[in-house]
Each structure stands twice: as C-alpha cells, then as structure tokens.
C-alpha cells in the first residue's frame, strides 16, 4: 500500500520511511509542498496520485501544507490526510481539520501511535468503499479483496487484484503503463519493463482473454463483461 510522506525534516522523514516500511507500507517521500502537489496531481481522477493515504507536514518549503491540502480537496479527492505538525494550538488543529484533514497529530509523537492512526484512517476509508463492483458475471469485492466469476471465487495475487480494481473501477477509461505502474508500485521499487504485461497476462488467463482490452499505443481498459 502506497503512502505519501510530505516532510522536510530529514531525520523525521528517514525514520518514518524506515518504520512504516517495516509494516509493509510503500512510502514515497517528498520534502516540500510544491513536490507534494505535483505528486498528488499525477495520474488519477480526483488528483490523489494513487496514494492510499497522505502524511502531511504543515510548515514546508515552497508551499505550506495547508495550501497543499486545500488544493487536494478542491479537486474532490477523498484520499485520507493525516497532518503531522509541531503546531499544537487548538486554533491550528481546527484550521487543519476544517481545511479537510482527516486527523491531526502533534510532533513529537510515538511511531506506534502514528501507525495506529494510519490503520484507523485506512479502515475508515475502506468502509466508504464497501460496495461490490459488478461487471457482467464478474464481481470484485474491495473489502474482502475477493474476485468471483460466475459465483466461483478466483484467486488473484495482491498486484493482480489491484490492477483489476483500477481498471474495473473506471469502465471505459484507458490507463497508460505509467498510470498502472504508479498504482501498483512505490517510487523506490525497481520495476521491470514488462511487468504490467505479465500481470495482465495472468489476469486474462484466470478471467478470460477479453477481460482486459489493449488500446494499441495508449494503454489498457476493462474489456467485455464475462
């Protein structure tokens, strides 16, 4: 699961990348507000950059965290945002929450508490997306991470499931290789040149060749309903 960390303090950033990585999160780290806005604007409807959650400092170079947050919400993105900042006044907390933050954690904080708050926000976000996605005889259950084809459960790997969910959530929309890679991998992960084709091949093998349509020279979209 990809998280975006926006933090200009090198010591804190390195500690969080390492600590959250130990729990299996893919943490992409930027150190100023302009870079955060660019990362979040990239690639996806709603302008969330494909991140499951954003850890956002307030006091940042080039663009402050509050303006980054306001831009994000102006694009109607629902990605959870946890503000992590030294600003501890009640008025600051109110301003951050009113601007669209989902939670607010004051520095210094314990890593264990940060992890607990992340888990809570992700559970809350998952609960908003409980509806099964139905495409003909294919059913994708985002909560159980389960796929059923004509009422028979089909086992997909996490990355196969993620790719299918990206495509089926936006029928008719063509996704480029870069967009799919961004959805499935963190910035620091090495990606082989044909990895998307390999994942698509295995999904087609399990669900039928017509389930994913290739638009030559552009990308892929969900195909015919099985």
Rounded Cα distance between 158 and 100, Å, is 30
Residue closest to 7 by CA, chosen among 47, 56, 44: 56
pLDDT tens digits, 165-177: 889 988 888 888 8
Integer CA distances (angstroms), 116 to 25, 105, 112, in order: 13, 11, 6
Q: Could you tell me what percent of the chain has a pLDDT over 70?
A: 91
- Output the CA torsion sign for 78, 84, 85, 91: positive
Q: How confident is the model at residue 124 (pLDDT cuts 50, 70, 90)?
A: confident
Q: Domain containing 62 — which CATH number?
A: 3.40.50.2300
Of the residues 128, 146, 173, which one is the last residue of a structural domain?
128
Domain termination site, one of 100, 128, 156:
128
Domain span at residue 144? Answer: 133-222
Q: Identify the DSSP state of 62.
A: S
Q: What pLDDT is attached to residue 24?
A: 84
Do 123 and 139 fall within a single domain?
no
What pLDDT is attached to residue 47? 59
Q: How many CB atoms are closer than 10 A to CB 169?
A: 14
Q: Are residues 12 and 106 in the same domain?
A: yes
> 142 and 81 share a domain?
no
| Cα–Cα distance measured from residue 200 to residue 157, given in angstroms and rounded to the nearest whole number | 12
Query: Both 33 and 97 in a single domain?
Result: yes
Domains of the chain: total:
2
pTM of the model as a whole? 0.62
Provide the CATH number for the domain around residue 163.
1.10.10.10
Predicted confidence (pLDDT) at residue 44 exceeds the cutoff of 60: no
Q: Based on the fold, state whether residues 207 and 120 are members of the same structural domain.
A: no
CA distance 123 to 38: 26
Co-location of 113 and 197 in the same domain: no
The residue count for the chain: 226
**Average model confidence (pLDDT) across the chain:** 87
Specify the pairing of strand 138-141 against strand 146-149.
antiparallel
Domain boundary among 128, 158, 175: 128
């Amino acid at each position: 699961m990809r998280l975006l960390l926006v933090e200009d303090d090198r010591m804190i950033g390195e500690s969080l990348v390492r600590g959250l990585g130990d729990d299996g999160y893919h943490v992409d780290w930027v150190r100023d507000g302009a870079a955060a806005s660019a990362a979040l604007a990239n690639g996806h409807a709603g302008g969330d950059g494909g991140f499951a959650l954003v850890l956002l400092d307030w006091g940042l170079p080039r663009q402050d965290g509050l303006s980054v947050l306001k831009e994000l919400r102006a694009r109607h993105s629902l990605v959870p945002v946890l503000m992590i900042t030294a600003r501890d006044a009640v008025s600051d907390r109110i301003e951050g929450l009113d601007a669209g933050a989902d939670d607010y954690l004051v520095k210094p904080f314990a890593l264990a508490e940060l992890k607990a708050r992340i888990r809570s926000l992700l559970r809350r976000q998952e609960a908003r997306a409980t509806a099964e996605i139905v495409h003909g005889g294919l059913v994708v259950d985002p909560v159980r991470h389960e796929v059923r084809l004509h009422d028979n459960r089909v086992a997909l790997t996490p990355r196969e499931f993620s790719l299918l969910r990206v495509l089926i959530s936006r029928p008719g929309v063509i996704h480029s290789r870069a967009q799919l890679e961004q959805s499935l991998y963190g910035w620091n992960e090495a990606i082989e040149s044909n990895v998307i084709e390999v994942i698509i091949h295995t999904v087609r093998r399990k669900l039928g060749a017509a389930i994913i349509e290739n638009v030559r020279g552009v990308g892929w979209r969900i195909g015919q309903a099985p």
